Structure 1
Amino acid sequence: MNYTKSITPHKLLLFQHLKHQRIDEARDVFNKLPFPDIALCTQMVMGYAQNDRLGDALKLFYEMPTKDVVSWNSIMKGCLDCGDLSMAKKLFDEMPEKNVVSWTTIMNGFLQFGRVENAECLFRQMSVRDIAAWNAMIHGYCSNGRVEDALNLFEKMPRRNVISWTSIIGGLDQNGKSSEALFLFQKMVHAVYVGNSLVVMYTKCGYVYDGITAFKRIDEKNIVSWNSSIVGCAQHGLGMWALTLFNQMLRERVDPDEVTFIGLLSACSHSFMLQKGRCFFQYMSQVKSIEMTIEHYACMLDVLGRCGELEEAEQLVENMPMKANVMVWLVLLSACRKHSKIDVAERAAEQIFELEPECSAAYVLLSNLYASAGRWSDVSRIRKKMKHNRVVKQPGSSWLTLKGQRHQFLSGDRSHPLNQEIYQKLDWLGGKLKELGYVPDQQFSLHDVEVEQKEEMLSYHSERLAIGFGLISTVEGSTITVMKNLRVCGDCHTAIKLMANIVGREIIVRDYSRFHHFRSGICSCGDYW
């Protein structure tokens, strides 16, 4: 049931106060609501409990005229979070209706505080156990040193997921049973469901070759296995690998679905395979079991746009059986940015502004296109329009995760604790780049400023700062993986290729659409992205 279908200003204010832990202000607003429903009452109760005001939470809970199972579960969890197990158990016993979440919540609470016997008793009493309950009990056994009980329960599980495997493997390792943990890990890799998850995890984290290895180890491959691998190869620019996997898939008599062709078209887009992209798109239109969606048209549009076939791309948009949305027009506009087609870009931008007047990406792409052409008056006009419409540009940011901590950078950022060392490393790299003949490409500094300022702006783009941090914070020779929320600019792309060669490392950069593997002075994208 959608309790927030009619959001009033008072309700919005209540949610804002609760979000920012202004609990007394939230209660003042709550008191002004004439007829708060169950959902709003439950939100207020949870707000009290999450701010260690259990007494107020319980008082309001018992004052509620009607309660559902969600409200009972919420107050019970609030008691567990505050460490009041006896009250949590009292509430559990009073509940007029219990669901599997109720049982799992109280059981987790007992396990969290080392009351394994109480949790065991509840687990046995459960008439219906979902996979979360099994996982909670296994994790609880391991956390309290009862590894054999955890193993016995794991073997009895009717169904397992990634959490099941990681809980038992981690528990074995933490309790000094590393060899048993390794054995189970090897067994896990061969399970279909877990193997698929590993493929996705590896490829999303930049380790595409490990993802392919995990795929090969899956004993019984299904459509999800094949799609995960094909899409992974596409994201990393391994177009021919994606096509090879597709051919193997057909030989294994696995029928492709809609996701398969999104992966294949993406592979063609990122690997400059125009004709193959056209063939796949034509093949899809002839297979009745495949439903062509707007995502497929957007992918084909990307293939055409990246290859410079902008007239054909415009015709495709005009002949689509469904109305083009913002995503489709943005793909076309992005292609115009790459190929400097201002007239097509202006037409695409006009369509976007009609559909979504506050689309910041369209303003930025059009402004960048004007800037790269030196049309600074048009840049100024677009920026004034953005300001007038209160459109805020999404800032470019890059980040690197080290020892579980995320280190994020903006262009020209000097807020990091290792700021001085990072800039020293980048300045050293800048000297080495000049020795190799590198000259900053000023068309990617999209500001009407002096040459020296443009070069400095380019030198400290967010991805370079993240790489600089990675170089001073990781083991010599190890791979550096950087994530970026926007497209890597052409100048940074050129510089990072040389940087990877200078430091003798592989540098992986994932921008908003694909992975770039820089090593030995070249990039896996073949300078085509």
Structure 2
Amino acid sequence: MLVLRALFQKQNSLLKSSIITFAPALFTVPSKSLFGFAKYSKLIAPSYSSALSYHLKNGKIDEARAIFNKTQFPNVYLCTKMIAGYVEERRFSEALDVFDNMPMKDIVTWNMMMKGCFDCGEVEVGLKLFDEMPERNVISWTTLMNGLLKVGRVDEAEMLFSEMPMRDIAAWNAMIYGYFANGRVDDAMNLFDMMPSRNEISWTSIISGLDQHGRSDEALWIFAKMVRFGVLPTTSTFSSVITACVNVLDLYLGVQVHGYIVKLGCLYDEYVSASLITFYANCKKMNDSHKVFNEKLHMNVVVWTSLLTGYGSNSRHDEALNVMGDMFRNGVLPNRSSFTSALNSSSEMASVDQGKEIHGAAIKLGLDSDSFLGNSLVVMYSKCGNINDGIIIFKEISDKNIVSWNSVIVGCAQHGCGKWALTFFGQMIHAGVCPDDITFTGLLSACSHAGMLQKGRHFFEYLRQHEAIEVKLEHYSCMLDVLCRCGELEEAENLIRNMSVRANLSMWLSLLNGCRKHSNLDIAERVAKDIFSLDPDCSSAHVLLSNMYAYAGRWSDVARVRVQMKKRGTIKQPGCSWVTQKGVKHIFVSGDKSHPLSNKIYQKLEWLGEMLKKFGYVPDRRLALHDVEDEQREGVLSYHSERLAICFALINSAESTAITVMKNLRVCEDCHSAIKLIAKIVEREIVVRDSSRFHHFRDGFCSCGDYW
């Protein structure tokens, strides 16, 4: 057999017939490509070939190699398939080993190996192979050009393109795509104008490239031109066009394109459907999104994820999570984008129970080690009040990126864990990860909630001197908050009046709230004038100013402000708190008795009132902010929405479990004092997220240290 192999490798044509005659079980008729007459053949038993193909198709590269090694005379076809398998798995050295040991190579194999070099980042090896090729075709030149463009060597690719002995339309398209990939939009447009002929891929590349570079209007104009020239769009064209309509939020044009899609029978394409669902969702037309989805039973995860994300982006989080459940019931396995969107909806609903269910499903599908999903889990647990679980997830992320570090730093800041945030920042720098603008927003926020004035000043000054990071409005807002919370109101006023960017209403309100916290009516009245010049009907400013007058006992000024509010029709935003249990959101407002369990809630509230008195609690009647008798003020304080929500959670959850309450406004000082004692009385942890931060109440203390 060794003799036969040697003779075969020398391409002895006389022995060819003998091999066929005496070894029919081992060989099919040799392909003419090995002898210079034809292209491909299989020189192994069909069972070996099909088994090898099966393993390669299913990613079992080592099993495929074992079969390959059993083949005594692997031909060009088989070797090329083995090389392609190794390249797909990014096992370049093994692919090159198969290539180097091939007795014969045709141009397809050379092209495949060269493409493998570029796919695996081995650019110089690819260039060397191109130089060594005994013959080249247009695919060889295009493959090299694509490889150079992929690594940003645009000038070399341009030179190669100009030197090509023959260019087909694929080469022109590749060059256009490469220009866009490297940000050379105008060069791509010029080359498109020079093309001797174009196909639908040419037009689609231009439309997609323009849209991806923020020139969606031009992309739509090109599409109109394409239609006028009689070129039929493909499903890829329609996906790009619909995305462009999303970016310019042109509902009318999108509906026209939708009609054209129906006319050409492309509606049932999965990616076209996904694009249309996203388009209508971004235009706040979720009913139309759902109609597109219902056109057929989809099994493609991209379509389901588009609907799921659409509901989330329209704040219809219950329906988003229902879509997630329907995916499982219909046998559609979610991908990491599906999980991320579902986790975002769980975060917005503050539903940690549903978030944990989604987390468990991700673990079962083996996605728990994915850094993209891990980042979303950190955010979800942090927003739902479980910063400890968020930190645990963060530590389990093996491939931490800037988003991972920012997520845990911002999460710690929201929970007032300033020292933890600074510790993680130090670890981030030690790991060689460069901070960005979001990092500094998190750090300044952490300094604000932890009262670290000097640290805040240090980070802000460093940021202003750091040329690589632009100081944004968010950074000024956080620094202003640091100063206001620490009582540096004059410095805060000076900062807001001398910023390089114009302060927004939110920043002025932050300063006014700082004045309320530190009882500085002089600055407050000046700030209120600036606020009313921006928004004369600002209810928050009227309420804050009124409350400051009430706190100071200046009831005539309180009446004056309230008269102004009444004349302008300014309505105070009602305070509300909510608890999410088993996916259901239970909302409470101050003094509310509409809940089905109101009787039990108020019984629990009365019991707590008696227990609070035994623990020495004395209501701060000034915080009722009403010109009424003391007994009435005490009653007003007792029925604040967060207390009702806590009582509901106490009678509807297992003993010793933590309670999480969300509030749309800042928790008042009196409720803060009361909840500290309530946590001690019921021997539970009570987490309250107000408009400012998270408060963790345990054993008579709060994580904020009474600083918020």
Answer yes or no: is 1:236 the counterpart of 2:410: no
SS where residue 189 of structure 1 aligns? Answer: coil
Any conservation in 1 of the 2:290–2:307 contact (CA below 8 Å)? no
Amino acid of the residue matched to residue 337 of structure 2? N
Say which of 658, 666, 669 aligns to 1:490: 669
Q: CA deviation at 1:336?
A: 0.4
Match of 1:100 among 260, 271, 275: 271
| Equivalent position SS for 2:695 | strand
TM-score normalised by the chain length of structure 2: 0.55
Partner of 1:376: 555
Alpha carbons 1:441, 1:491 under 8 Å: kept: yes
Residue by residue, what CA displacement relative to the aligned partner does 1:27-74 show, whole Å, maximum 9, x if unpaired? xxxxxxxxxxxxxxxxxxxxxxxxxxxxxxxxxxxxxxx985536759
Deviation at 1:141, TM superposition (A): 7.8
Tell me which of 365, 382, 385 is aligned to 2:564.
385
Question: Which one of the candidate residues 280, 288, 291 is aligned to 2:467?
Answer: 288
What is the match of residue 46 of structure 1?
Answer: none
How far 1:359 sits from its partner (Å)? Answer: 1.1
Correspondent of 2:448 among 269, 289, 297: 269
In structure 2, do the counterparts of structure 1 residues 242 and 93 end up closer, same or farther at CA, with 3 Å as the change threshold? Answer: same
Q: Aligned residue for 2:405?
A: 226
Q: What residue number does 1:504 align with? A: 683
Is it true that 1:516 corresponds to 2:702 in the alignment?
A: no
* Post-superposition CA distance 1:66-119 (Å, at most 9, x none): 98553675999xxxxxxxxxxxxxx57656997834378899989979x86xx5
Task: Tell me which residue corresponds to 1:143.
Answer: 329
Of the three residues 395, 399, 404, the one matched with 2:583 is 404
> Which has the higher mean CA deviation after the structures are superposed, 518-527 or 310-319?
310-319
CA distance in 2, matches of 1:69, 1:218: 40
Does the CA contact (< 8 Å) of 1:165 and 1:188 recur in 2? no
How does 1:184-223 map onto structure 2 within 5 Å? 184-185=363-364, 187-223=366-402
Which residue in the other structure is 2:648 paired with? 469
* Equivalent residue, structure 1, for 2:540: 361
Q: Is the 8 A contact 1:104 1:132 kept in 2?
A: no
Shift of 1:318: 2.4
Distance 1:109 1:456, change over 3 A: closer
Relative contact order (C-alpha < 8 Å, sep 6+): which is higher?
1
Residue 486 of structure 2 corresponds to 307
Q: Which residue of 1 aligns with 2:705?
A: 526
Amino acid of the structure 2 residue aligned with 1:523: C
Deviation at 1:366, TM superposition (A): 0.7
Corresponding residue to 1:163 among 328, 336, 339: 339
For 1:455 and 1:524, the matched residues in 2 are separated by 26
1: distance between equivalents of 2:671 and 2:325?
46
- Indicate how the Cα distance of structure 1 residues 111 and 366 shifts in structure 2: closer, same or farther if over 3 A, else same: closer
Q: Tell me how far apart the structure 2 counterparts of residues 448 and 255 of structure 1 sit (CA, whole Å).
A: 54
| Structure 1 position 160, deviation (Å) | 3.7
Distance 1:111 1:374 in 2: 60
Contact 2:308 2:338 in 1 (8 A): no
Q: Within 2, Cα distance between the matches of 1:139 and 1:428?
A: 40
Q: Distance in 2 between matches of 1:270 and 1:141?
A: 41
CA contact 2:575–2:589 (8 Å) conserved in 1: yes
Deviation string 1:436-486 (CA, Å, 9 cap, x unpaired) is 111101111100100100000001100000001111111111111110010
Q: Distance in 2 between matches of 1:109 and 1:356?
A: 40
Q: How far 1:320 sits from its partner (Å)?
A: 1.3
CA 1:286–1:399 in structure 2 vs 1: closer, same or farther (change >3 Å)? same
Map 1:373-452 onto structure 2 (within 5 A). Answer: 373-452=552-631
Shift of 1:298: 1.3
The one-letter code of the counterpart of 2:391 is I
Contact 2:339 2:362 in 1 (8 A): no
Structure 1 runs not aligned, ≥5 long: 1-65, 77-90, 168-177
CA distance in 2 between partners of 1:105 and 1:139 (Å): 22
Distance 1:70 1:427, change over 3 A: same
> Given the superposition, is the C-alpha separation of residues 318 and 476 from structure 1 closer, same or farther in structure 2, using an over 3 Å criterion?
same
**Structure 1 residues 360 and 108, CA, compared in 2 at 3 Å: closer, same or farther?**
closer
Q: Which amino acid aligns with 1:283?
A: Y
The amino acid that maps onto 1:143 is R
> In the alignment, what sits opposite 2:458?
279
Change (3 A) 1:283 1:504: same
Query: Cα distance, 1:143 vs. partner?
Result: 2.6
Distance in 2 of aligned mates of 1:335 and 1:165:
36
CA shift for structure 1 position 402? 1.1
Unaligned runs of 5+ in 2: 1-250, 278-288, 310-322, 344-356
Equivalent residues, number: 420
Instruction: Give the Cα separation in 1 of the matches to 2:548 and 2:656.
Output: 38
Opposite residue 359 of structure 1, the aligned amino acid is: C
TM-score after normalising by structure 1: 0.72
Q: Is the 8 A contact 2:273 2:303 kept in 1?
A: no
Match of 2:635, SS? helix
Larger gyration radius, structure 1 or structure 2: 2
Supply the distance in 2 between the matched residues of 1:508 and 1:502 (Cα, whole angstroms).
Answer: 15
Judge conservation of contact 1:237–1:515 (CA < 8 Å) in 2: yes
Contact 1:69–1:99 under 8 Å retained in 2: no
User: How far off is 1:162 after superposition?
Assistant: 4.0
1:114-133 residue pairs with structure 2 within 5 A?
Answer: 119=298, 132=305
Equivalent AA in structure 2 for residue 102 of structure 1: S
Q: CA RMSD in A?
A: 3.4
**What do the CA deviations read for 1:390-413 (whole angstroms, capped 9, x no partner)?**
111100111111111111111111
Distance 1:297 1:141 in 2: 43
Gap change, CA 1:366 and 1:193, over 3 Å in 2: same
Please tell me the residue identity of whatever aligns with 1:363.
H
Would you say 1:335 and 2:514 are equivalent positions? Answer: yes
Q: CA 1:271–1:186 in 2, change beyond 3 Å: closer, same or farther?
A: farther
CA offsets 1:297-321 (integer angstroms, 9 cap, x no match): 1111111111111111112122212
CA contact (8 A) 2:402 2:433 kept: yes
3-state secondary structure, aligned to 1:482:
strand
Residue in 2 aligned with 1:455? 634
Q: Which amino acid aligns with 1:238?
A: C
CA–CA separation in structure 1 for the residues paired with 2:268 and 2:656? 59
Q: Which amino acid aligns with 2:271?
A: V
The corresponding residue for 1:480 is 659
Inter-partner Cα distance in structure 2 for 1:282 and 1:249: 20
| Cα distance in 1 for residues equivalent to 2:488 and 2:340 | 49
Partner of 1:33: none
For the residues of structure 2 that align with 1:140 and 1:467, how far apart are their CA atoms?
33
Q: 1:132 to 1:436 in 2, by over 3 A?
A: closer
Q: Secondary structure in 2 aligned to 1:406?
A: strand
Q: Is 1:73–1:101's contact at 8 Å kept on the other side of the alignment? A: no
Tell me, yes or no, if the aligned pair for 2:675 and 2:697 is still in contact at 8 Å.
yes
Give the secondary structure class of the aligned counterpart of 2:502: coil
Q: Partner of 2:72 in structure 1?
A: none
Q: Give the secondary-structure state (helix, strand or coil) at the position aligned to 1:392.
A: coil
Q: For 1:24-39, what aligned pairs fall within 5 Å after superposition? A: none
**1:364 Cα deviation from its structure 2 partner:** 0.8
